[in-house]
Each structure stands twice: as structure tokens, then as C-alpha cells.
Amino acid sequence: MFTLLPLEDQEFKERCLQYARSVLAPLAKQLGDVNDVPEALRASLADSDIYGPLFPKAYGGTGLSAVRICLVRETIAGIYAPADTTFAMQGLGGYPIVLAGSESQKARYLPELAAGRRLSTFCLTEPEAGSDVSALQTEARDAGDHYVINGRKRFISNGYSADMGVLFARTPTSENPMALSAFIVEKDMTGWNVDWRIELMASHDIVEFEIKDLHVPKENLLGPPGAGFKLAMQTLDLMRMSVGAAAVGMAQTALDESMRYARKRVQFGRPIVDYQSTGFKLADMVTEIQAARSLVYLAAIKKDRADPSATLHSSIAKMYATEAAFRCIDQAVQIHGGMGVVKGATVERLYREIRPLRVYEGTTEIQKLIIANQLLKEAKKNEPLTP
């Protein structure tokens, strides 16, 4: 699969692999389970230049590339999930600025994010607005030269460690009472209180917090008022396929571990890899991983070519890859038998880490909704039905 990519992308993948194996893997061993971004991880990611593909060259990146974003996530997610989350949040918090930022917003924030000097987050979800983004209740009131924002955000990844983020809030007007707008917020602005760190089943920096009279200068409004919903959707379009890439990376690690284990574990006088029951599991795993990987990079290539079907393909890739990876990792645990459910085993960790991927950045059910809607839209365009 990777040999089909341009040579520069293959070389980029090699550099990611080298970083993952020689720097990230030992660091992961040293840091273990964390629910923040420890200084050593923050520094390691910054030194590795890994954030480059998330940002244009003019703002300190190496050029926005969905393919390379996927290559990074596939390479690091199976090694250390907290590193993958940090990378993904830099994209979720940075891409809206790439898409809609003014020249001065881009110049002020993007080089900092590209270099890893600041970490970002994406504040969309609320207690009453998970899948249903339009139910969002946090409100920004126009107060002259600034907005005053009040509300509550939940399940905000990197919310504890991030220095800044993009926050979505309602800005109702008489013409559009449902309008959503996006704001660049900084952690040291008064009114931002991270008051509840949520503990997930796997390592993850994730919080809930109250926003109380958060004063955001008007110059931090991102794009025109009311453009927030589309901006959020466009950001998810890019990042969803990369969730699929992270899932592929986790499943690949589970397959590698399973191969190793099955070749050395002897039962009934033979290594268990010699039994068809194991071989068939491995065959299913590699097939699903290859299928998922193909869908992920197809979506990424379409995104990089600004193909209008990228939304459809991003959802297909996210849905298939996260579901397939979950099945693969479950099989890996089965191959490992008792050792697979021992706390601290790699496959046990992956079993916990893969589960949230079927939920965040749009559940599998939401992806199905988007896929069906995109299909219908395409059909209507190509073949309008006459009454």
C-alpha cells in the first residue's frame, strides 16, 4: 500500500517510524498511563517536528497534507495513544484557524502550534450537544469590543494541558437565532475554569468545564459571525479519516503482537500459530487492516485533491477502520488467552484504547447518517426525480 504513495511521503513515513521506535516507544514505557500531556511528551513531540503536516508552509508547517496526517497517526497511535491524542488535538484546534483565520490570527497562532510551543484543543461538545451539534447552548453575547461567553463544555480532549483552543458558541441574531460562531480562546483568559477532569477507560487528557463570563476580544472571532457550524464540520471532515488511521495503527500493533505471541506460545505440543483456529484469526485481522488502511488513504488522497466526495470518504474511513480495528484487537486478546486480559499487556491496553475511537469525532451511527446523506445528495444531483 505505502509503496503506492509518492517517494517523499514514503520517506516521511520512514522518519515517523524512526521517531516512534527510537524516541516515543521508550518514552511511553517511562511515562505509562497519563491523563495529561507530561512535559517530556510535549517536548518530545515539539522536537520531532511532527506537527508539520497540520500547517501550511507559510506558517511554520511543512504543508497541509491529509495523507501525512494519517501517516503520523497510524505510526504513533499503536505506540503511545496520549501522543496521538496530542497530535490530533493540535489539528482539531489548528485547522479552523488555517481555514478561517485572518492574516493576523494565522500569523499569531499557527507558527506557535506548528512548533509545538503551544498546545490546542477543540471545544465543541456540551452536556446536551454531543452528536447533535445544533443543540449547543453555550452563548456568546456581543459586548462592544469583545464577546462575553457563558456555558459548559464536556469531553474536551487535551482540555487540561492545552494553552489555547477553538471554542464554538451560539451567537443568535433575529435573522438566524440558531447561528453558531467560532472563537480563538486562550487559557489565561478570565472565565475559563477547568473544574472537572474526566477519567476514561484509557489514558486520555479530557475535561469538562464551566465558562463563566469569559471575555473574548472581538479580534478573536474566527471567520464571520454565524460561520461556526460549517467550520466545525469542515474540521471534522479532515480529522475523521485520521481517526481511522489511528485505529489502523492500533490494530497493526495488535496483529504484530499476536504474530509474535502465537509463534512462541506452545499448547498441545505445537506453537498455537500452527493451528488453523489461530491462522484464520490472523488472516481476518490482516485483511481487515489492509481494507481499513486502503479506505483511510483513499479518503486522505481525495481530501488533498479537494475532491468534493472527501466528506463521504472521510466518514466511510472513520467508520470502517474504527469498527474493524476493534474486531482485530478483540481477536488479538483472544489469541493471547489469559495473558491478553492481564493488566499491562499490550493487547489489553489496546483493547481499552480502541473503544473510544468508535465514539469520538462522530459515533459510528453519525458516520452512517453522513454517508447516507451524502449518497442521497449525490443521487439527487445526478438524477433529480420528476414528480
User: Which residues are at the interface with ligand COS (CB under 6 A)?
Assistant: 124-125, 131, 133-134, 229-230, 233-234, 236-237, 311, 360-362, 366, 369-370
In angstroms, the first-to-last Cα distance of the chain is: 46
Work out how close the CB of 259 gets to ligand COS at its nearest, in angstroms, rounded to a whole number: 33
Which residue, 297 or 360, is less far from ligand COS as judged by CB?
Answer: 360
Which is the catalytic residue, given 361, 365, 378, 383? 361
CB 69 within 8 A of CB 91: yes
Which residue, 222 or 370, is less far from ligand COS as judged by CB?
Answer: 370
Residue in 188, 173, 104 with CA at minimum distance from that of residue 140: 173
If DSSP codes are grouped into helix, strand and coil, which group holds residue 72? helix
Query: What does the alpha-carbon distance between residue 268 and residue 272 come to, in Å, rounded to a whole number?
Result: 9
DSSP string, 192-243: EEEEEEPP-SSS--EEEEEEEEEEEEGGGEESSTT-HHHHHHHHHHHHHHHH
If DSSP codes are grouped into helix, strand and coil, which group holds residue 265? coil
CB 153 within 8 A of CB 209: yes
Query: What does the alpha-carbon distance between residue 148 and residue 169 come to, in Å, rounded to a whole number?
Result: 10
Work out how close the CB of 324 gets to ligand COS at its nearest, in angstroms, rounded to a whole number: 19
Instruction: For residue 321, report the phi and psi dihedrals to the nearest 5 degrees.
Output: -65, -40
Residue reference for cell 486562550: 186
Work out how close the CB of 237 gets to ligand COS at its nearest, in angstroms, rounded to a whole number: 5
Burial class (CB in 10 A: 0-12, 13-18, 19+), 270: exposed
CA 29, chain centre distance (Å): 22
Which residue, 99 or 189, is less far from ligand COS as judged by CB?
Answer: 99
Which residue, 35 or 334, is less far from ligand COS as judged by CB?
Answer: 35
Work out how close the CB of 21 gets to ligand COS at its nearest, in angstroms, rounded to a whole number: 29
CA–CA–CA angle 305, 306, 307 (5° rounding): 90
Q: Which amino acid is at 144?
A: G
CA–CA–CA angle 28, 33, 35 (5° rounding): 115
Which residue, 123 or 329, is less far from ligand COS as judged by CB?
Answer: 123
Which residue, 154 or 349, is less far from ligand COS as judged by CB?
Answer: 154
Work out how close the CB of 135 gets to ligand COS at its nearest, in angstroms, rounded to a whole number: 9
Work out how close the CB of 110 gets to ligand COS at its nearest, in angstroms, rounded to a whole number: 21
Query: What does the alpha-carbon distance between residue 85 and residue 77 come to, in Å, rounded to a whole number?
Result: 8
Work out how close the CB of 343 gets to ligand COS at its nearest, in angstroms, rounded to a whole number: 27
Which residue, 105 or 234, is less far from ligand COS as judged by CB?
Answer: 234
User: 186 catalytic, yes or no?
Assistant: no
> Where in the sequence numbering do the catalytic residues fall?
361
